[in-house]
């Protein structure tokens, strides 16, 4: 049973989510430069518009007007497909994120989510893993040793940290008992944020999120001093722009996932009271604002860490991933299991 | 006191290779400390000077580009004695003297004048020794904040009399100001 109102409603939600993701990614580039500047006692871009607010537009215009350069590669098709995959996967993940509970407009309840599937978290992990292909294909198709090195580094790093990321999630999922991000958000109503129950899981997830998005201190894939630019060395014009944009879109999405999984999503203390006394719409618009405040903090945190911690060496990176984070998350799963089953265990042991 | 323990700066530190404790090996404490250091800089006053709108304050003894002076009657002071060229540590100054003709008395103050006077701005270090050496008060380093413009040709950096001598209008204005006082 699909009626036209439903299709329109979902289309509007999807377009809005898409636009917001793009705008957030765009202004992340501006924020990155501003935060970098402020942390280094500078003022950053301030010529294009007030406080440099038009800088992302100017950058986009510049990238569009640049020459499209193709390296001498036999894989012209793959060379174009690489950035396309990187961009699409970065945008696809936003489909399952609950941006708010519901709005009551035109006599309908509008869910503020593109789709509420019951395997949302699995979908998220799946799409993020496909993101490796964008980088790997781009690096391979460039027909350049440095690009390939960067791509290999990025791919092996992302694959390794996905394991730890997935395992850290399992402990959380054992507690929530659901993969739907909407239900996970609803369970955290009030101040029942998951971060208070699963701090270790959160820490592992955070570190892995840094590695997944190829951000400092794990930006070995594009370390300028060794690999020129890594996998996007040979890219120019908007294809280069797509890679950079995908990186910021990924950052936005992972900041969102952190906020939703661990910091209560759109929930804020007193939301129930607001729904009952002020109205559904006002309460939920405040909820969206709260979610975005959380997201902005985490994006800021990404940038903050970038200008604090130096880059890891490659063996240190692999050590951290395989020999520390994975055993730690497995231990976390066991401890969580024991705590969940403590009554059964006590009964079994005869207390 | 043995030589190993002397620390003239008071900041001497002995390098130690002690084993790190468990908490140190986690690095989390150090990372949080680092985050606090960087966030402190976030709120610090910025050192940037917004150049075209703001201009850095110059020292009162700032030495800018050179100028060959004229006296209150608009005559050039320089007598081409060559003391400035002699005193110049960078050997930036060169000149050629000429004898003043009878009909040039209104142009040059002394009987001998500099026919050619050149300063190589690529060599000049703006030390001001030429100004100190000059017995006729002819050469001065002005307070002008105009810098030597960039160029692709080396010849463009050799400033001749056309770019060094004080403009006549300026000399007239100075004379008027002097009379007014």
Cα separations in angstroms, B145 against B69, B101, B157: 18, 37, 17
Rounded Cα–Cα distance for residues A151 and A230 (Å) = 7
Preceding amide of A217 cis, omega within 30:
yes
If one counts every other C-beta atom within 10 angstroms of the C-beta of residue A335, the result is: 12
Confidence of residue B152 (pLDDT cuts 50, 70, 90): very high
Query: In this complex, which of A41, A46, A309 lies closest to B34 when CB atoms are compared?
Result: A309
B32 touches chain A (CB under 8 A): no
Residue A336 token pair: 């969580």
Comparing alpha-carbon positions, the chain A residue that sits nearest to B27 is A309
Chain A residues with CB-CB distance to B50 below 8 A: 43, 46
* Spatial CB neighbours of A162, under 8 Å, sequence gap ≥ 6: A125, A128, A129, A208, A212
| Per-residue pLDDT reduced to its tens digit, B86-103 | 999 999 999 999 999 888
B residues 41..60 contacting A (CB < 8 A): 41-42, 44, 46-48, 50
**B16-23 average pLDDT score:** 83
Please say if the pLDDT value at position B160 is more than 70: yes
Query: In this complex, which of B37, B39, B41 lies closest to A41 when CB atoms are compared?
Result: B41
Size of interface A-B (CB pairs under 8 A): 33
Confidence of residue A86 (pLDDT cuts 50, 70, 90): confident
Whether the predicted model's global pTM rises above the 0.80 cut:
no
Rounded Cα–Cα distance for residues B132 and B134 (Å) = 6
Comparing alpha-carbon positions, the chain B residue that sits nearest to A324 is B26
Q: Tell me whether 0.95 is exceeded by the ipTM.
A: no
Please say if the pLDDT value at position A111 is more than 80: no
Taking an 8 Å cut-off on Cβ atoms, the answer to whether B46 and A41 are in contact is yes
**A42-46 average pLDDT score:** 87
Across all residues in chain B, what is the average pLDDT? 87
**A113-118 average pLDDT score:** 80
Rounded Cα–Cα distance for residues A281 and A60 (Å) = 35
pLDDT for position A278: 79
Cα separations in angstroms, A69 against A224, A227, B5, B135: 20, 19, 63, 65
Comparing alpha-carbon positions, the chain A residue that sits nearest to B33 is A308
pLDDT for position A1: 54
Please say if the pLDDT value at position A137 is more than 80: yes
Confidence of residue B132 (pLDDT cuts 50, 70, 90): very high
Rounded Cα–Cα distance for residues B25 and A204 (Å) = 16
Confidence of residue A220 (pLDDT cuts 50, 70, 90): confident
| Per-residue pLDDT reduced to its tens digit, A168-186 | 888 888 888 888 888 888 8
pLDDT for position B89: 92
pLDDT for position B110: 87
pLDDT for position A2: 63
Cα separations in angstroms, A51 against A29, A45, A60, A302: 14, 7, 17, 21
**B12-25 average pLDDT score:** 82
Please say if the pLDDT value at position A158 is more than 80: yes
Who has greater pLDDT, A298 or A1?
A: A298
**A233-251 average pLDDT score:** 85
Min Cα separation B34/chain A (Å):
6
Comparing alpha-carbon positions, the chain A residue that sits nearest to B36 is A308
What does the CA dihedral A281, A284, A289, A294 come to, rounded to 10 degrees?
A: 180
């Amino acid at each position: 049973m699909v009626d036209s109102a439903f299709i329109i409603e979902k289309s509007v939600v999807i377009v809005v989510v898409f636009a917001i993701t793009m705008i957030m990614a765009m202004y992340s580039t501006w924020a990155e430069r501003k935060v970098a500047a402020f942390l280094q006692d500078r003022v950053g871009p301030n010529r294009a518009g007030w406080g440099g607010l038009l800088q992302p537009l100017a950058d986009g215009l510049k990238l569009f007007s640049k020459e499209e350069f193709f390296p001498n590669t036999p894989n012209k098709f793959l060379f174009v497909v690489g950035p396309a995959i990187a961009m699409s996967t970065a945008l696809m993940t936003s489909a399952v994120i609950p941006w708010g509970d519901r709005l009551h407009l035109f006599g309908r309840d509008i869910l503020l989510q593109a789709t509420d599937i019951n395997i949302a978290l699995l979908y998220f992990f799946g799409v993020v893993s496909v993101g490796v292909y964008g980088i790997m294909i781009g690096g391979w198709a460039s027909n350049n040793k440095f690009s390939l090195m960067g791509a290999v580094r990025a791919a092996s790093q992302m694959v390794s940290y996905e394991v730890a990321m997935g395992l850290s999630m399992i402990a959380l999922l054992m507690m929530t008992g659901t993969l739907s991000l909407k239900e996970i958000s609803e369970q955290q109503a009030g101040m029942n944020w998951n971060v208070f129950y699963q701090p270790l899981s959160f820490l592992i997830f955070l570190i892995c999120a840094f590695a997944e998005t190829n951000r400092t201190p794990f930006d070995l894939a594009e370390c300028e001093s060794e690999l020129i630019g890594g996998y996007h060395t040979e890219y120019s014009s908007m294809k280069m722009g797509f890679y950079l944009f995908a990186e910021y879109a990924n950052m936005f999405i992972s900041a969102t996932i952190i906020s939703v999984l661990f910091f209560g999503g759109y929930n804020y203390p007193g939301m129930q009271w607001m729904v009952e006394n002020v109205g559904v719409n006002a309460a939920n618009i405040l909820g969206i604002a709260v979610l975005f405040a959380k997201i902005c903090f985490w994006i800021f945190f990404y940038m903050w860490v970038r200008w604090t911690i130096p880059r890891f060496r490659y063996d240190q990176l692999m050590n951290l991933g395989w020999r520390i984070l994975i055993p730690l998350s497995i231990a976390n799963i066991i401890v969580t299991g024991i705590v969940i089953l403590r009554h059964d265990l006590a009964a079994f042991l005869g207390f | 006191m043995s030589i190993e323990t002397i620390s003239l700066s008071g900041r001497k530190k002995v390098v130690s290779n002690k084993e790190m404790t468990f908490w140190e090996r986690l690095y989390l404490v150090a990372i949080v400390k680092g985050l606090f250091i960087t966030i402190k800089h976030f709120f610090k006053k910025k050192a940037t000077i917004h150049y075209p709108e703001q201009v850095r304050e110059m020292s009162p003894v700032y030495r800018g580009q050179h100028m060959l002076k004229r006296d209150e009657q608009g005559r050039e002071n320089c007598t081409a004695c060559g003391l400035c060229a002699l005193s110049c540590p960078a050997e930036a100054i060169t000149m050629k003297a000429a004898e003043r003709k009878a009909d040039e008395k209104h142009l040059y103050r002394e009987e001998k004048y500099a026919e050619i006077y050149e300063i190589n701005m690529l060599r000049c270090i703006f030390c001001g020794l030429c100004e100190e050496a000059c017995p006729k008060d002819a050469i001065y380093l002005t307070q002008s904040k105009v810098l030597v413009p960039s160029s692709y040709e080396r010849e463009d950096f050799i400033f001749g009399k056309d770019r060094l001598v004080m403009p006549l209008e300026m000399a007239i204005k100075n004379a008027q100001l002097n009379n007014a006082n």
